Structure 1
Amino acid sequence: MKKNLSLRSALKRALQMGVSAAAVATMPLQISHAASNDGSLAGKITASDQKSLEGIEITVRNPETGFTRTVKAEPDGSYRFPFLPVGKYIVEGTRNGSTLGKLTEVTVGLGVATTADVTVNLSNVEEIFVVGTRVVRAVDVKSTESSTNLTREDLERLPVARDIQSVALLAPGLAKGDDGLCQGGNCGVSFGGSSIAENSIYINGLNVTDFYNRVGASSVPYAFYKEFEVKTGGYSVEFGRTTGGVINAVTRSGTNEFEYGTEVAWEPHSLQSSKKDRFDPDGTPRIIGSYDDYDRTSATFYASGPLIKDKLFFFALYEARDYQPNNTSDDGETFYKAKEDSGFWGAKIDWQINDKNLLELLAFSDKNEEVRDGYGFDFTDGTRGAYQETRFTDNGGLNWSATYTAYLTETFSAKALYGKNNREFSRFGQNDLECSRFRDQRGATPVDLGCSSTSAVTARDDEREAARLDFEWVLGDHQLRFGLDREVNTSEFEQHYPGPDRLLYELYVTDGPTNLFGTTLPGGTEYIRTRQNEVDGEFETVNSAYYLEDNWQITPSLLLNAGVRVEAFDNKNSDGDSYIKMDDMVAPRFGFSWDVRGDKRSKIFGNAGRYFLPVANVINIKQAGGFLDRRTYYYSGGTAIFDYNGEPNERPILGAQFAVDDSQGDGTVGDLRGEVDRDMDPVYQDELILGFQSMLDDKWSWGVRGIYRKLNNAIDDMQITSTGIICDGEPVSAGYVMANPGRPVTIYSDTDCDGVSDGWVTIDTSQHGWALRDARENYLGSDVGYTKPKRTYKALELMIDRAWDDLWSFNAVYTLSFAKGNAEGPINSDTDFGDTGRTEAFDDPWVNAGSYGYLPNDHRHQLKMRGAYALGEHWEVGGTLTAQSGRPINTTGDCNPYDGWCFFSFYIFNDSTGQYELRPRGSGGRTPWIFDLGANVTYRHSFSAADLKVTLAVYNLLNQQRTVEVYEALGSTGETRDKSYGLGTGYQSPRYGLLTVKLDF
């Protein structure tokens, strides 16, 4: 029978038996050299009677699965178990065949190492050792990284939305991305000033990050997760391909006990507050949201248990879903009624082949389909009009992985993973299948005449093939970790115009005599241009790396961590040829942890490291595909009227064909040497962290951490309008080139003015590359360069934490941060531009001219608090609070004072002076502070055969709907200013409630 004793009584009893426990400490460590989908256990046995420790063996045993593993302790009593599955373990000891009994119980967490140091009396080894009350310490004196670990049990006590992004946002220094960049409900997360497209997400060691745009990831239901780890800095060389952070999660597994259960989660319309309607100053509707609502229900069923006791286990889950959102267009003229009812399934198999070999299999499908009907609408009285069309959005896919772990010797272990991550995406309407788009271009503003206004129909299938090997080898005081990983990311992409013939029809009229491709048209001639614009192909990117790391315990109080990761990125065009290839990228990382007083209650730690970011697949597709752009010209025969969905529409009548032009793209891959820098350097970030942590008592701890991050380099599309070659008084232009802004760019171009590319040209874009022209496009005879990208993040974090003790817990983190520079990263929140790596930041030199300042992810002050309290045996309450200062507001214009080019810039034209004025970043002030308060109450009751849990959670309890994003384009001052400047474009979501009923058998 297990006995719960105070430490004093346990010591007294053990001494009476001849075996004593002088100290037992088990600590959930957050150490940078733990595995990505499991954990590890390390510790030291000390003999209180100074006897030799030779012959002592340590065994860990998971009582739920029967898994056991035994190692010999080193002569000094130290021991280590690598690659342990997450779970609870009993630690036992033997010496020369005689038992020392149970030494302690530990919980091995995800991605961390747990330490159990035990002192024993070896005078009598025939008696069973009884452990005292376990002391859990929050300070990990062997950790050099920064991370936040949360279990399912932790989260069940808190009002946290049921998705991995909301869990991650509990960590310090993280902020939600802008509404304008949300994809499929996922708005992304900014880690430490980085953009939302710089993170990596893992499930059971499988990378499930969206590699098309690097925003979002494959997902599983809340009930399938077991534990989460959010890495915010200083992480091991095992992880790469991120300059933001890592979200690491592991799913549930089966045990020797048959278990099953169900959970129903209901977000009813009745527990939602209404969105506020927003209007322009003149009363024009800007964002009509008062008719937006939804009902969401999910019913989860799971079962788990042994297929073969102590050997083979299963966990299976199915979630039935019903989501019915209603919303209007921003102008309130269209009402959308949607439905999603696709179910999720997931399964995990764990095979403990023997105590030296483990195999786990994971599979899940997150496929989903949304069907959305559109109707005419009058928001003034809520009247729904005629049916317009039905649109379909499909996403998600099948994901699986197999992980094999081998304990080859007591000091050498290996792990191998292979898997596939699939994400499909397509969006189209019934009108898109049946109707071609027809636009009237005869006036100043184009007008859609047909029954489709869709600009393009797109379908994409992204598949990641992932493989990795990880090894661990302990040599005395050195723990060596090394391995390699390789990902082949393939995107099958198709894009074309709507309609059965995939053509865009446009009606034009000539102002005067016009020559089109050899045919002269008199003034007033109407003609039709059809356009076939298509990209269709398979695009592949290969990312590979190998790493080596040494964790050296120099003294019992000082740990040094030194590692290096060598990366390679290879982006290929649709013909399978490399066109952006970067290798031999060396990422060194160093860390230390010093147990200041040698009592494992306080530490000073720090690390320095470099992190590289790969090029997203969207770049391959947008630039390196077989692009077809065929334009065919016909005389107009007028238009015909036809009825579609009860509404009259027009279609063109084609006359005789008189010209064809496919010079813009003939369906083949072009010569990309003129569009990509031959010697392009990668994007990378350097990071420095220094911190201190200490225990206040056995439950309370506090800490402080300083962080410095610097982004080095950028890869973006730059517009090169001057290569330095002058032909007939005009500079040779290269168009948009993927390159490193502010650095030398080498491209293949025309060097002898014959109109044909024939040689390499190098342009120092810090000085040259943009031809200056006047307002009439006349070349002014000189050029200018581009500003180098800059981004730094400086932060100070203060933390206090009280561990849960079956009564209450509390955690609070305050972050003071400064995110400054002239480039946010591969995503641009200033303009909500979401094509990763193709922002407007370097489309011309004036976008970044004078733009150095505080960046969109600069939230100066951030306070996050969470806690839970047990009100007796059955009731619990929990709460979360985020108080965050607003983001900077820019004031942007169209033109600049240096040439006639008009685009996006930080210069504003002053109507009264006739001069341009520089408005630096943040000159428009900041958005208001936001306060997000959540609360929940839980009732628990155990019956003879089941455990019941009922929770009511309310999010944004205060129903604050403050502005989080505004329109930043002023244009100019005076009467010509943009009247929408400063008006909100994004707001906090209204209050809503979630009722959850859970039964476990």
Structure 2
Amino acid sequence: MKKNALQKSTLWLALGMALSMPLAMPAFAANTDGSLVGHVPAGAQVTVRNPETGFERTVTADADGSYRFPLLPVGRYTVEVQSGGAAVGSIQTVTISLGNATTHDVGTGPATLEAVTVTGSSISPIDVSSTETATNLTIEQIDRLPVQRDALSVALLAPGVVRGEFGGVSFGGSSVAENAVYVNGLNITDFYNRVGFSTVPFNFFQEFQVKTGGYSVEFGRTTGGVLNTVTKSGTNDFKAGAQLVYEPDWLQSEQQDNPGRISRYDEFDRAALNLWASGAIVKDKLFFFGMYEARKYDPRNSDDTYDTFFDGRSNPGFWGAKVDWQITSDHVISAMGFSDKTKLTTDEYGIEPAQDLNGARIYQNTTFNESGGDNWNLTYTGYLTDTFTMKAMYGENSRTSDIHSLTDDQCSLVQDRRVGSGFLGCTSNTAVIARADDREQYRLDFDWQLGDHLLRFGYDHENNTSFYNQRYPGDGRRFEVFEAGDEVNGVPTPDGVDAYVRTREVRNEGNFETVNSAYYLEDNWQITDNFLLNIGIRNEEFDNKNGEGVSYIKMDNMWAPRLGFSWDILGDSSLKIFGNVGRYFLPVANVINIKQAGPFLDRRTFYVFEGFDENNIPILGEQLGDVDDSQGDGTVPDVRGEVDADMDPVYQDELILGFQKQIDANWSFGARGIFRKLTNAIDDMEITYNGLCEVGGFIMGNPGEVATIYSDTDCDGENDAFVDIDTRNTGWALYDVDGNFVGSTGWMKPRRDYQAMELVLDRAWDNNWSFNASYTLAFSQGNAEGPVNSDTDFSDSGRTEAFDNPWVNFNAHGYLPNDRRHQIKLNGTYALNDAWEFGATLDGRSGRPVSVFGVGNPFDETEFHSFYVCTANCDASHPERTYTLFPRGSEDRLPWEWDVGASVTYKHSFGASDLSVKFAVFNLFDRQVVNEVNEDRELANAIGLINPLYGQGTGYQAARYGQITVSLDF
């Protein structure tokens, strides 16, 4: 494997927020827990207890008076200290939050517990033992705000996170295909395309942690951000409740549509009824939490041309459950499961007349969209000694994607190429695809305190398998009718035959596996009472396998170092400066295995055309010539000529510097600066010259790096040996005006640089009001957005058109699609009294940059995609044309987007029952600015012909809509 050294970069300032506690020993928490640390008299007994579950542990402070409780489940605890049989201080209540360490000193050390008494459940301490950047939000905080009930909407509350294409979000300038999502330690991220994740029922969540940078070596396989979550658990008290969430169509504004008109039909009804219960099966030992959510979703819309009306309906049932068994105070087992299976059924109707939705509708077809699956994990936590703990987890994550229609089996795909490219018969569906993705995951994590050193180490393993089945509709054949010449398929055309039929069968079916594994080691060294150094290393391995289970892209020994520090300047946790530098690797998505290394069949058979039958299916006569399956014979191909044998991984280097300052008991302020540099891309490139011979075909490799490919070395048209192709300088053949080969050129190296400064002001909730404000100034520049392309709407991860030939990205450096120069976020809650609460959010972001795409270039006669546009003599031959370069993102910027949300909540108690009624409005002012436009200046394959749709809006802010939530808990 080629070396990939850390790049030098500048440090900027970094963010922070919330209250603080004094420093103790370093206390990093696992991805499903928190920690409690502090100082007490030497040798004192410290007992922590959760009064709701009876969970209790006691440790003895060391000779320095330090104590530590690692791997505590999130929740409220009491802390009691005894020394020599006498109580030290009073019993206090603390809150343990996800992924954080809460620090409490009692009777000695930098401060006393009485000086920093903490009660309640909404503290956000400055964690001076952490060098990462994260935003924590509990379900109670979210319920007080007008926030849509999905995990990505929660992530968008964090600084530097913006909504992106394909239903995803962008962290710190990354594409939407670079994030990771965990629930109770189970990775639920989509691994087929790395866009999206399993949909957990929202009422199942207890707390969210949005990691936007500097996360520890425990986390990997992401160059974006991490959304880390935990679910609710049962307690000794039986509790139950019901919640109805309703979004009616009459609370929706009319949606703007292309080109800026009011959409003639675009609305939905959505409702969810959630029933839940929790309690103890065995008091202080065995607990349960369970919920069932009935959902109803009825979308109704028309297509862009208003020729088709879609009427959809979906009413799935979502469930979630968690069981916790406290075997002893030292051994705990938890089991979690949830289901997000869903099926959307959509009826399609023709609209007559086409411009009038009130006209008659003629039924055409019904489409079924099935997705989701069952997910579960089992976790063991062992507190083996006061200083040594472990956690073991095994789990499975399932996702399906199956889109089919009633016509798929009944109707064949037919085209008469003699009269055009339109489809005959009852279908125009070009592929029937079913897919099932199953992740099998296990990991071991250990935590060992050795004096001033806290060692954390572990192993993380995933088997990601995709079952994939693709075919044409009908009997699996596509029928195309052509005019016949003198010869068809290499044989003379029979006398009297003027047309022929080509049937084409395209299939790809099989299981495709990727194995990702890693081990890590981290030392958190408390050099002084005030200064912590975090030193970590993670070793990654990615192994992508073909349709026969044989490795064909394997990258190992990927060392990801992380180095961070935290300096508690005043020694009382009121002012912290921190920084970190690290490397992060991104796996290759399973879609690459399927599209490149499967048993692909492309079988073409030719027949005499003898007319159409009553269903417009061509009648096949005599077969002409042999069957042609040269493009794919149904066996797994030899991909040595298509995949770089020494491929480098995609990785990102990140540097962060920041501070956090507690202003007073409620207010805090922070700032951080970020520099991220993405190095390498894995994408497909068309190689037409290998340095020895003129060749042809796409390879998967690193643009701008040396690719080792099994290729032709004696120019006889047959691959015979491995060749090193330096794609910076060669790989693409150049020809003169007479078509003679005159040399070659190569690709520009991919590049993405992100620089940002984030400022945060926070006022913690005190049962009266809270406030949070952030401002981000960011610059995202380069020539590669990431594994997917937002500006060209290409979502196949790692197979974009960005490097198909050298001219696509030639001189294309500029502002990238996720460059949102300014971001302003505000949210807050005010309780008028015990009955009425008001919440508000504001998310403002400057518009994305607009590019100009042409189809030619001044260097050769390729007509595909580039940042060059023909501006003069376009009808002349290539050497006489004038091309103008439009650097990426230089044309314009789209307008600012402002999303304002507002909510009002009424609360009332009836004995042991609590009623809550919440009304929320999203995009309160119904601001529907364009957020995406057509960026193709020239028509495809038509140099000099201006695209009349250039600059026209293709996407708009979602219209205003309302949500009613009624909750009853008892």
TM value normalised by structure 1: 0.91
Q: Measure how far apart 1:658 and its partner are.
A: 1.5
Q: Which residue matches 1:334?
A: 308
**C-alpha separation between the residues in 2 aligned to 1:227 and 1:583?**
34
Q: Which residue matches 1:397?
A: 373
Residue 55 (structure 2) aligned to one of 58, 67, 81: 67
**C-alpha separation between the residues in 2 aligned to 1:689 and 1:992?**
38
Q: Which residue matches 2:392?
A: 416
Q: Which residue matches 2:803?
A: 842
Residue 548 (structure 2) aligned to one of 556, 568, 575: 575
Partner of 1:167: helix, strand, or coil?
A: helix
Q: Measure how far apart 1:971 and its partner are.
A: 1.6
Q: Which residue matches 1:8?
A: none
**C-alpha separation between the residues in 1 aligned to 2:329 and 2:486?**
86
Residue identity opposite 1:469 in structure 2: L
Q: Which residue matches 2:883?
A: 916
Matched, 1:794 2:782: no
Q: Which residue matches 1:473?
A: 448
* Alpha-carbon distance change, 965 to 96 in structure 1, aligned in 2, over 3 angstroms: same
Assess if the C-alpha contact under 8 Å between 2:375 and 2:397 holds in 1.
yes
Residue-by-residue CA offset, 1:888-912 (whole Å, 9 max, x unaligned): 1001100111111110000000136
**Matching of residues 762-911 of structure 1 within 5 Å:** 762-773=724-735, 778-911=739-872
* Alpha-carbon distance change, 97 to 797 in structure 1, aligned in 2, over 3 angstroms: same
Matched, 1:621 2:594: yes
TM value normalised by structure 2: 0.94
Matched, 1:39 2:15: no
Residue range with higher mean Cα deviation, 626-635 or 520-529:
520-529
* Alpha-carbon distance change, 27 to 720 in structure 1, aligned in 2, over 3 angstroms: farther
Residue-by-residue CA offset, 1:59-78 (whole Å, 9 max, x unaligned): 11000000001111111211
* Alpha-carbon distance change, 137 to 507 in structure 1, aligned in 2, over 3 angstroms: closer
Residue 208 (structure 1) aligned to one of 188, 191, 194: 188
Matched, 1:747 2:719: no
Residue-by-residue CA offset, 1:443-490 (whole Å, 9 max, x unaligned): 3x4010111110100000100000000000001111110000100000
Q: Which residue matches 2:68?
A: 80
* Alpha-carbon distance change, 251 to 160 in structure 1, aligned in 2, over 3 angstroms: same
Residue range with higher mean Cα deviation, 61-70 or 915-924:
915-924
Q: Which residue matches 2:563?
A: 590
Matched, 1:276 2:249: no
Q: Measure how far apart 1:839 and its partner are.
A: 0.5
Residue identity opposite 2:819 in structure 1: D
Q: Which residue matches 1:602?
A: 575
Residue range with higher mean Cα deviation, 971-980 or 292-301:
971-980
Matched, 1:652 2:639: no
Assess if the C-alpha contact under 8 Å between 2:144 and 2:839 holds in 1.
yes
Q: Measure how far apart 1:997 and its partner are.
A: 0.1
Residue 663 (structure 1) aligned to one of 622, 630, 634: 630
**C-alpha separation between the residues in 2 aligned to 1:740 and 1:54?**
57
Residue identity opposite 1:587 in structure 2: A
**C-alpha separation between the residues in 1 aligned to 2:26 and 2:378?**
25
Matched, 1:297 2:271: yes
Residue-by-residue CA offset, 1:239-279 (whole Å, 9 max, x unaligned): 00000000001110000000010000000011000112434
Q: Measure how far apart 1:317 and its partner are.
A: 0.3
Residue-by-residue CA offset, 1:193-219 (whole Å, 9 max, x unaligned): 000000000000000000000011012
Q: Measure how far apart 1:591 and its partner are.
A: 0.5
Residue-by-residue CA offset, 1:917-950 (whole Å, 9 max, x unaligned): 1110112211110100000000011110200000
Q: Which residue matches 1:49?
A: none
Residue-by-residue CA offset, 1:794-815 (whole Å, 9 max, x unaligned): 0011110000001110001000
Q: Which residue matches 2:5?
A: none
Partner of 1:166: helix, strand, or coil?
A: helix
Q: Which residue matches 2:439?
A: 464
Residue identity opposite 2:156 in structure 1: L
**C-alpha separation between the residues in 1 aligned to 2:493 and 2:297?**
57
Q: Measure how far apart 1:652 and its partner are.
A: 1.2
Matched, 1:145 2:132: yes
Partner of 2:470: helix, strand, or coil?
A: strand
* Alpha-carbon distance change, 521 to 865 in structure 1, aligned in 2, over 3 angstroms: farther
Assess if the C-alpha contact under 8 Å between 2:24 and 2:38 holds in 1.
no
**Matching of residues 232-631 of structure 1 within 5 Å:** 232-279=212-259, 289-377=263-351, 378-443=354-419, 445-499=420-474, 501-510=475-484, 512-520=485-493, 525-631=498-604
Q: Measure how far apart 1:781 and its partner are.
A: 2.2
Assess if the C-alpha contact under 8 Å between 1:31 and 1:144 holds in 2.
no
Q: Which residue matches 1:980?
A: 949
Residue 649 (structure 2) aligned to one of 665, 670, 682: 682
**C-alpha separation between the residues in 2 aligned to 1:537 and 1:93?**
61
Matched, 1:93 2:54: no
Residue-by-residue CA offset, 1:306-340 (whole Å, 9 max, x unaligned): 00000000000000011111010111110000001
Q: Which residue matches 2:910?
A: 943
Task: Give the superposed CA RMSD.
Answer: 2.1
Assess if the C-alpha contact under 8 Å between 1:29 and 1:114 holds in 2.
no
Q: Which residue matches 1:12?
A: none
Residue-by-residue CA offset, 1:363-421 (whole Å, 9 max, x unaligned): 11110001000000134353242100000010000100000000010000000000000
Residue-by-residue CA offset, 1:970-993 (whole Å, 9 max, x unaligned): 028998211111111111000000
Assess if the C-alpha contact under 8 Å between 1:514 and 1:522 holds in 2.
no
* Alpha-carbon distance change, 516 to 872 in structure 1, aligned in 2, over 3 angstroms: same
**C-alpha separation between the residues in 1 aligned to 2:229 and 2:821?**
29
Q: Which residue matches 1:732?
A: 695
Q: Measure how far apart 1:725 and its partner are.
A: 2.3
State the identity %. Answer: 56
Assess if the C-alpha contact under 8 Å between 1:801 and 1:810 holds in 2.
yes
Residue identity opposite 1:240 in structure 2: G
Residue identity opposite 2:192 in structure 1: Y
Q: Which residue matches 2:7?
A: none
**C-alpha separation between the residues in 1 aligned to 2:59 and 2:76?**
18
Partner of 2:937: helix, strand, or coil?
A: strand
Partner of 2:640: helix, strand, or coil?
A: helix
* Alpha-carbon distance change, 802 to 561 in structure 1, aligned in 2, over 3 angstroms: same
Assess if the C-alpha contact under 8 Å between 1:28 and 1:113 holds in 2.
no
Q: Measure how far apart 1:753 and its partner are.
A: 2.9
**C-alpha separation between the residues in 1 aligned to 2:962 and 2:24?**
35
Assess if the C-alpha contact under 8 Å between 1:364 and 1:398 holds in 2.
yes
Residue identity opposite 2:505 in structure 1: Q
Q: Measure how far apart 1:830 and its partner are.
A: 1.5
**C-alpha separation between the residues in 2 aligned to 1:107 and 1:517?**
78
Residue-by-residue CA offset, 1:134-175 (whole Å, 9 max, x unaligned): 495643322211000000111011000010010000001011
Q: Measure how far apart 1:290 and its partner are.
A: 2.8
**C-alpha separation between the residues in 1 aligned to 2:373 and 2:217?**
29
Assess if the C-alpha contact under 8 Å between 1:316 and 1:346 holds in 2.
yes
**C-alpha separation between the residues in 1 aligned to 2:114 and 2:537?**
43
Assess if the C-alpha contact under 8 Å between 2:605 and 2:628 holds in 1.
yes
**C-alpha separation between the residues in 1 aligned to 2:496 and 2:735?**
31
Q: Measure how far apart 1:774 and its partner are.
A: 5.9
Q: Which residue matches 2:895?
A: 928
Structure 1 unaligned regions, length at least 5: 1-23, 46-52, 122-127, 280-285, 643-649
